Chains A and B, each alone.
Chain A
C-alpha cells in the first residue's frame, strides 16, 4: 500500500479561453470539488477549453512556465456574443491539492500582454497566499520541473501518442526514473545530456594535479576539451535558432488558426473539411512510413516466389548440416603446435592432411551464432502481407487525402480573394518553417542527443572506437576525434583521456576511485532500471491486454514503446487504439509501482478508440486509479453511460445560461449565449446534447 496520498480537491478559472469565471458566483455550483476516492466526470463541449486546462494543470503541477509565445492562446475569447468575460484581462487558473494532511493551492496568473507568468501558493495554516511556486517539499520532489512525469498523470491523446514516437529524447526512460525516485541517483552519473556529478569530480581531481604522464595525451586532452566546447557552442547557437524558428512558426500557426476560427465558427462544413484533411494527411504520413517498414521484411518485399527459394535454400541445403564452431586456427594449431595428435598417436603426414581437410567442415566461432540465428529466422520466417495489399492501402490513403484537400479548397474558394491570398502566403510560410525546423532539430540532436538508438542509427560513435587496447579501445588521436560531432561521444573520449593521463599519484587514485564508483553505480542503476522495466512491462501488458486491439507484446525502451506482433515482428506504427491502450497500460502500471497514491486527469480519453473500447478503458484506467478526473465531450459521456449510470460518480456539465440542455445550442438553434456555469445534476449530465445524436458528433477531442 502506498505511503502517501495526493488528491486534487478543486479548480477555478478566470478569463481562460471560453471560461469567464468558474465556478460562477451566481449560477450553478458554488464550489467545483472532485470526488477524492473515485471518479469525477466533467462534460465540456469541444472548443471550450479542455486542452488549455490540461496545459495549465501541468504547469501548476511542475512549476514550469508556459512558453511565452503561447500565453496569448489562453486569453479569454469573447465570441460574437458578449458572455461577460474580459478579453483584455490576465488569465487565472488555480488548483487546490491535498497531500496526506497538507492542503495547498497553486494559482497561476498569465499576463499575456506582457508575456509573463506568475505562480502563487497558498498553504493552509501558513498565513495566506505567497508569491512563487512553493508546494510542500514532498510534492516538489515529485513534480518540480518534471514535465515528463506530470504528462503521465495529466494525460491527453496527443501526449500519449508522443510517448510512442521515437525521438532524440528519452521520454519514457525519464518518466520511469522520476516515478521510481531514481532520478536523483542518476544525477551522479552521466545521463540525460548532462555530465554527472562524479565526472565533475574526476575533472576537479585532474585540475588538482598529481603525477602525470608526460606524453601527447595532455595535448590531446586540451584539444578534446576545446573541441567539446566548440560543439557545445554550436549546439547552443542552434538551440537559439530553434527557439526563434519555433516562435515564428507558432506565430504563423496562430494566425492560421485565427483565420480558420473566423470561418469555422460560422461554417460547420468548413470546420469539418479542415479536420478531415488533417486526419487524412496524418493517416497518409503514417501509412507511407509503415509501408517502408514493412518492405524491410524481405518476405513481404520480394514476393512469395523469390523468398520461398531463399527459405528452401536454408531449409534443404544447410538445415541440419550446420557445422560445429571452432576458432579460426584450431586445426592448424593442433597440427603445428602438438607433437602428437590429441588422441596420443604420433603424427603422420596422412593424419595431418586429414585433420587439415576437416577444418573446412567447421566455421569460425565468431560467425557461428550469427549463421545459426540467420538460418533459423529465415526458415521460420513468413510473409505478413504482399506488395499489392501495401499498394492498395497506400493508394486508398492518398485518394482520401486528395479528396479531403479538394473539398477544403473548394470551400475556401468562397472566401474573399484578399483573405485567400493571405491564407496562402501564411500556409506556404508555415510549410517552409516546419521543414526548416525539422532540419534544424535534426542538426541539434546530432550535437545533443544521448539516445543510444539515435547515436547508433546515425553512426555518431563511429570515430570513438579503436582497436587499441592500451587506450581502452577509445581513440586518443585528435585528427580522429575532431570528426566527432556528438557531445556525449566526445565526452567519452575526454573522460578516457583524463584517466589515461592520471596514471599515478594521489589524485589519480581518487580519480580512479571516483571512476570505479561511477562505473559501479552506472551498472547497478542500469540493472535496477532493467528490473523495474521488466516488472513494469509485465504489469503494462497485463493492463493493456484488456484493451481490444492490443494484440501486441509491448516492451519499453528509453525513448518509446515497442510493439511486437504475434509473429514476432516489431511494428512501430501500431494502430491508434493499441498505442493509446499501451500508454494507458504503462501509466496504470507506473501508478501501481509508485509509493504514492496519485490522481489521473484525462482529456477526451476515448478519442482514438472505437465506441466498443469504452468498457475496456474503464476497466484499465477507471479501476486503475483511486482518484480520476475525466474531461469528456458528450459523445464520450454517452459511450461511458454503462459506467456513470450504474456507479455513484461525481458528474458535472459546463454550459451557458441560455443553452438548451438537450441540443447544446440556444433556443433559436444559434450559438450559445449567456454566462457559463457548472451544473452538478445527473439529469443535466445525462440529457446534455442528447437530441444532437451522439454518434454524429466529433469524438476526436480538441479544445
Chain B
C-alpha cells in the first residue's frame, strides 16, 4: 500500500482572506516577526497499489479533477 499526501495551496496573487485573519490573530497573540500566512489543505490518501508510477499518475488526475481548483490553487504530491 502507498500512503500519499497531497497539499493544496492558493496560487500567488490570489487573495487569501482566511490566511490574513490568521496572520492578524498570530500578531495579537504576541508572536512577533510573523510574515505572510497562507492557508491550504492537506489530504492523506491511501492507495492499494504498490506501483509508485501509477500512483503518481492517478494522484495527479485526482488533483486536476477534484482535489484542487486549478483556477485558484496549486497542488503538490508526496509519496511515502
Do these two chains interact? no
Q: Which residues of B contact A (CB under 8 A)?
A: none
Q: Which residues of A contact B (CB under 8 A)?
A: none
